[in-house]
Amino acid sequence: MAKNFNRRSLLKGILGGATVSMGLPLLNLFLNDNGNAYADGSSIPTRFGTYFWGLGLTDTPAGGTRWVPQKTGLDYEITPELQAIAALKHKVSVFSGFRAIPDTRPNLVHWSGHASILSGVAPAGSGRFDAPTLDTRVADAIGGSTRFKVLDIDASISRRPISYSTRTGSTFASPDQTTVALYRRLFGDGFQDPNSDHWAPDPAIMLRQSVLSAVTEQRQSLLRSVGHDDQIKLEQYFTSLREMENQLAVQLQRPEPREACVLPDTPAEMARAASVDVVNSNTRVMARLLAMGLACDQSRVFNFIHTGGTSETYVAGQSKIYHQITHDEPTHAQLGYQPESSKLAGLVMEGFGAFLEELDAVKEGNGTLLDNCLVFAFSDTGYAKIHSLENIPMMLAGGAGGRHKAGQHIHAPGESVTRVSLTAMQLVGAPVGEFGTGSMRTARAVSDVIA
Amino acid sequence: MKSARLFVLTTAIGLGLSAALCSHAVSANDSVNDNDDSSLVVAVRRLTEPQYRQSIADVFGDTIQISGRFEPERRELGLQALGSATLSLTAAGFEQYFTLAQDISRQVLSEQQRATSTPCTPASVSSFDQDCAAQFINHYGELLFRRPLSTAELDARLAAAASGTQQSGDFYTGLQLALSSLLAAPEYLFRIERAEPDPANADGWRLDAYSRASRLSFLFWNSAPDAELLAAAASGELLTNEGLQSQIARLSESPRVQEGIQAFLIDMMQIDGFDNMVKESSIYPKFNQLVADSAEQQMIRTLVDLLVVKERDYREIFTSNETFLNRPLAAIYQVPFASSEEWAPYTFPESAERSGIFSQIGFLSLYAHPGTSSPTIRGIKLHEIFLCEHTPEPPADVDFSAVVDSDAATSRERLLDHMSNPGCIVCHQRSDPPGLALEHFDGLGQLRKFENGQLIDVTADLFGNKFVGAQGLGKFLYNDPRASSCLVRNVYAYGAARMPGSAERTYINTQIEQFAGNGYRVPALFSQIARTPEFFKVVLPQGVAKNASSAPDTARAQSQQQGE
């Protein structure tokens, strides 16, 4: 059937309001010859996301490691704890040797590391960041035209929702924590199929806009006489309100057709257990939903939590949790590392492997969704046994729409983690020239990975 | 795309016209008061989920269904009430509240409900009735914002209602939009407290009457002020000592005080997190969500019965063996459950070792790992919750490489192995002993005497204070003066959203003495604290705007005590 249309006649038909009925895969007719832009000249969007897992990867007291490849540059070798990314290593750059530098601030355990990566500042106290996180800056740059400016997802099945995304430093994003909740958010009320032939603006949305206008009108009056901290809180409220306004405005526009967008089935309720096999299984299902959410252009920015900083995950049937094991387990005399911790690290990385596989499984243009994403993956610590801020594992996965020279190992002992943060932001086009404070202040991105 | 743009343009024109119409209507409305320009915002606290729910039930009736996800709370110095003063709304959170606002408005103005929920009948259902809309918005606006609406606030909602009516051809659809905008507004979602120049003190500030009304109402009822309390604020009664005392008496004698004190106890005792509790099923096969929910309920029922219904000595929460059971819990406590009711009172025998709130499954399972107990976590939480003593974050420079994995049979021995590490001992010598006294209870709270075949030792030595098991721990806490001091400070902080500082030491000590003099009764403590001028003390926040006509320089935090 595809052969009965050419690109021009098809577009003309749609723009002219003609009814066109066709199978979804045929929409690649919208693509230009290079496969990285639509026929009307608009490019396939680049998406950005963070992926966090707790407790780092394993180093050894003697200075060895279970994860840092020997070889730098392209075609690095797969180490035991990187096994899960082996199949996609040509799309993943690994960064080793980088460190968080708190200067005079304390090393807040399971907090200072990722706070530094995300906000560029080692915070004064646990539970707060001292600057907004980088995902919010990226979202401000590239997330404004989709329904959700940022999607926050927590697959960890922890007692409390985990998110490290913040604008104020004290209010953190409230993530979707179950597969069903994520599905409803993305594909429930308010979802508009971008490939539908029967789109029409919903008049109810305009009524909702008037509700928000009535609230916004009072902003100046409210902010006139507030203290500094209260002003930050209320400004965050109005920022959130504006994002809702944007969501409604987006819903009033006919969505651009999206080749890869296929409404997924409702997922089953997930098991409620925090063992690593269950968390990995949730990660895969949530990644699949997220991938389709991105393919359907519901959002272009996301934050994904696999496990929290003091990870409570464990091997099913065992009584000790991962966090306990990293501290309690001695270094094996012959092996020279903590075997149980290293095994868990490998299992936790399987979650990341599954996550990337799901993004890579969605075909988009001439490549995959992953090729049009940049996933910034990192942990809270280096060698978890001693809460090390040295050698914190970080990775950049995906092609960032061709801008990321992926598949490299960058080894830079002693360099600030913020260099990788800055690189990530610049790769997806956020207008940030400098990032971090004190010894972590940097204007030097890692140019080796930028095309 | 073009059609969408045109559609938006049409709406904008419609809104503009409607706004013009409404402003004309409102200028004649005498019932609307503007905010006093000289007032300052001195606190912004996000409503908690229970406060949101209770406020909606109070204003619209308890038939309104509220289904949605609320933003996570945050705890500061042990209290969500303090954490709420640091919180804002994220984009995902606003999305939820916005959906809730529309859902509630639809229910309130459904065909079945509108006759009772609307204080007037419109001249025509299909056209806009300004007077009726203004009555409706003013009525619910005052209850939701906990003060009368300003002219501008009313104008904005009338504009939404007018344009909604115009577009939909239905007056009640217009009202729904107006109500939604009240429910999604920061003035509803946050408790915004204001101070005004104090006429009795030239450079001083006092909490304004409506903020006082809210502070009292949320303290005693965990909800927004009712019409009588708002009227007392409007008349100035709450600014007089006599009027204030009269309202405190009314609030504290109401049956609703049980809900208010219960909310405080849940906050202080940190009875939350049961929804997401996970246990390893191969180790604790009896655990399921019903058990978790029941354990939460048991803690609440026990505390409310003891402290509010029976008004017993607060310190008995550490020693009482009286509680309530349901069938799922009885299975875990391994006691028979013969009642035909869902819940039945129960008194544990001495041999059960269950006395004190911390010996219940709720506390024991919440503060444990998925597959083991944790004397350290339990000890940290006992200190934090009951003694207001917070354990610092573990130092990062502890040499864990010196730690060896212990193959000892019991938790005590494993922990003692770690005690050889000087970096660990500083905190663990304080946190672990009370937790070790609870080691007869496993990670789910089930009684056990052996661990890995070895008899468990539940003796404890906390800086020379020696006790044995849960009962010994309970007696120790009963006699520890820090426990009642912690409670008094928490009640103040809960109500005033500020932990009392060193400058208020004398005040707090006086309150502790009075609390003891009243037989350590918690309801009396609530009234006692609310009756003191310090409860309404104004602390000007840093950086507050200085545009008020008689505002003092507030470049740095400055506190003023209001004089009654």
Chain segment B243-296, per-residue pLDDT in tens: 999 999 999 999 999 999 999 999 999 999 898 888 988 899 999 989 999 999
Give me the pLDDT at residue A32, please.
45
Closest CA to B404 of B395, B412, B414, B396: B414
Residue A63 has pLDDT above 90, yes or no: no
The percentage of chain A sitting over the pLDDT mark of 70, rounded to a whole number, equals 91
Give me the pLDDT at residue A3, please.
36
- Partner-chain contact A159 B369, CB within 8 Å: no
pLDDT digits (tens, 9 = 90+) for A107-155: 999 999 999 999 999 999 989 999 999 999 999 999 988 999 999 999 9
Say yes or no: B35 contacts chain A, CB-CB below 8 A. Answer: yes
Residue B171 has pLDDT above 70, yes or no: yes
Give me the pLDDT at residue A162, please.
95
CB A128 within 8 A of CB B417: no
Give me the pLDDT at residue B401, please.
55
pLDDT digits (tens, 9 = 90+) for A325-366: 998 898 999 999 999 999 999 999 999 999 999 999 999 999
CB B303 within 8 A of CB B509: no
Decide which of B276 and B422 is more confident: B276
Give me the pLDDT at residue B243, please.
96
Q: Average the pLDDT over A388-407 and give the result.
A: 97
Question: Locate tokens 């997930």: which residue?
Answer: A270
Question: How many Cβ atoms sit within 10 Å of the Cβ of residue B454?
Answer: 13
Say yes or no: B402 contacts chain A, CB-CB below 8 A. Answer: no
Closest CA to A109 of A324, A348, A386: A386
Give me the pLDDT at residue A437, please.
97
Give me the pLDDT at residue B394, please.
76
Q: Which residue of A has its CA nearest to B102?
A: A208
DSSP one-letter code for B469: H
Of the pLDDT bands very low, low, confident and very high (cuts 50, 70, 90), residue B550 is very low
Shortest CA gap B478–chain A (Å): 30
Helix (H, G, I), strand (E, B) or coil at B532: coil
Say yes or no: B116 contacts chain A, CB-CB below 8 A. Answer: no
Report the residue from A227, A312, A329 with minimal CB separation from B541: A227
Give me the pLDDT at residue B149, please.
97
CB B54 within 8 A of CB B222: yes
Give me the pLDDT at residue B555, please.
32
- Partner-chain contact B89 A240, CB within 8 Å: yes
Task: Give chain A positions within 8 Å (CB) of B15.
Answer: 210, 213
- Partner-chain contact A157 B276, CB within 8 Å: yes
Residue B458 has pLDDT above 80, yes or no: yes
CB B100 within 8 A of CB B119: no
Closest CA to A327 of A386, A277, A239: A386
Test the A interface: residue of B90, B373, B401 with most A CBs within 10 Å: B90
Give me the pLDDT at residue B403, please.
55
Closest CA to A331 of A345, A320, A346, A341: A341
Task: Give chain B positions within 8 Å (CB) of A243.
Answer: 91, 94
Beta bridge partners of B538: B560
DSSP string for A395-416? EEES-GGGTB--SEEEE-TT-B
CB A273 within 8 A of CB A316: yes
- Partner-chain contact B177 A149, CB within 8 Å: no
CB A215 within 8 A of CB B184: yes
- Partner-chain contact B88 A221, CB within 8 Å: no
pLDDT digits (tens, 9 = 90+) for B176-223: 999 999 999 999 999 999 999 999 888 899 999 999 999 999 999 999
Q: What is the mean pLDDT of chain A?
A: 89
Give me the pLDDT at residue B278, please.
87
Give me the pLDDT at residue A273, please.
84
Task: Give chain B positions within 8 Å (CB) of A320.
Answer: 369, 371-372
- Partner-chain contact B184 A212, CB within 8 Å: yes
CA B479 to chain centre: 28
Report the residue from A126, A218, A329 with minimal CB separation from B156: A218
Give me the pLDDT at residue B560, please.
40
Decide which of A133 and A41 is more confident: A133
**Which value, to the nearest 10 degrees, does the dihedral of the CA atoms of residues A361, A366, A372, A375 take?**
40
Report the residue from B184, B396, B544 with minimal CB separation from A109: B396
Give me the pLDDT at residue A320, please.
87
Q: Average the pLDDT over A81-102 and give the result.
A: 98
Of the pLDDT bands very low, low, confident and very high (cuts 50, 70, 90), residue B410 is confident
Shortest CA gap B107–chain A (Å): 16
Give me the pLDDT at residue A241, please.
96
Task: Give chain A positions within 8 Å (CB) of B369.
Answer: 312, 319-321, 324
Residue B17 has pLDDT above 70, yes or no: no
Test the B interface: residue of A140, A176, A230, A248 with most B CBs within 10 Å: A230
Residue B32 has pLDDT above 50, yes or no: no
Of the pLDDT bands very low, low, confident and very high (cuts 50, 70, 90), residue B525 is very high
Question: Locate tokens 């919208």: which residue?
Answer: A30
Say yes or no: B100 contacts chain A, CB-CB below 8 A. Answer: no
Range from A82-86, B101-105, B404-408, B498-502 carrying the lowest mean pLDDT: B404-408
pLDDT digits (tens, 9 = 90+) for B429-457: 888 899 999 999 999 999 999 988 889 99
Helix (H, G, I), strand (E, B) or coil at B305: helix
Shortest CA gap A423–chain B (Å): 26
Task: Give chain A positions within 8 Å (CB) of B93.
Answer: 174, 240
Determine the Cα–Cα distance for residues A399 and A72; give it in Å rounded to an integer: 19
Report the residue from A174, A207, A272 with minimal CB separation from B278: A272
pLDDT digits (tens, 9 = 90+) for B135-154: 999 999 999 999 999 999 99
Residue B325 has pLDDT above 80, yes or no: yes
Of the pLDDT bands very low, low, confident and very high (cuts 50, 70, 90), residue A29 is very low
pLDDT digits (tens, 9 = 90+) for B109-132: 999 999 999 999 999 999 999 999
- Partner-chain contact A240 B94, CB within 8 Å: yes
Task: Give chain B positions within 8 Å (CB) of A160.
Answer: 72, 273, 276
Task: Give chain A positions within 8 Å (CB) of B101.
Answer: 211
pLDDT digits (tens, 9 = 90+) for A200-223: 888 889 999 999 999 998 898 889
- Partner-chain contact A225 B372, CB within 8 Å: no
Residue A34 has pLDDT above 60, yes or no: no
- Partner-chain contact B542 A227, CB within 8 Å: yes
- Partner-chain contact B93 A240, CB within 8 Å: yes
Of the pLDDT bands very low, low, confident and very high (cuts 50, 70, 90), residue A37 is low
Helix (H, G, I), strand (E, B) or coil at B228: helix
- Partner-chain contact B548 A217, CB within 8 Å: no
- Partner-chain contact B177 A324, CB within 8 Å: no
Test the B interface: residue of A146, A198, A207 with most B CBs within 10 Å: A207
Shortest CA gap B511–chain A (Å): 30
Say yes or no: B189 contacts chain A, CB-CB below 8 A. Answer: yes
Q: Which amino acid is at B464?
A: G
Q: Which residue of B has its CA nearest to A208?
A: B177
pLDDT digits (tens, 9 = 90+) for B353-398: 999 999 999 999 999 999 999 999 999 999 999 999 998 877 776 6
**Which value, to the nearest 10 degrees, does the dihedral of the CA atoms of residues B139, B145, B146, B148 take?**
-50
Determine the Cα–Cα distance for residues B357 and B319; give it in Å rounded to an integer: 8
Residue B33 has pLDDT above 80, yes or no: no
The token pair at B389 is 């003593």
Q: What is the mean pLDDT of chain B?
A: 88
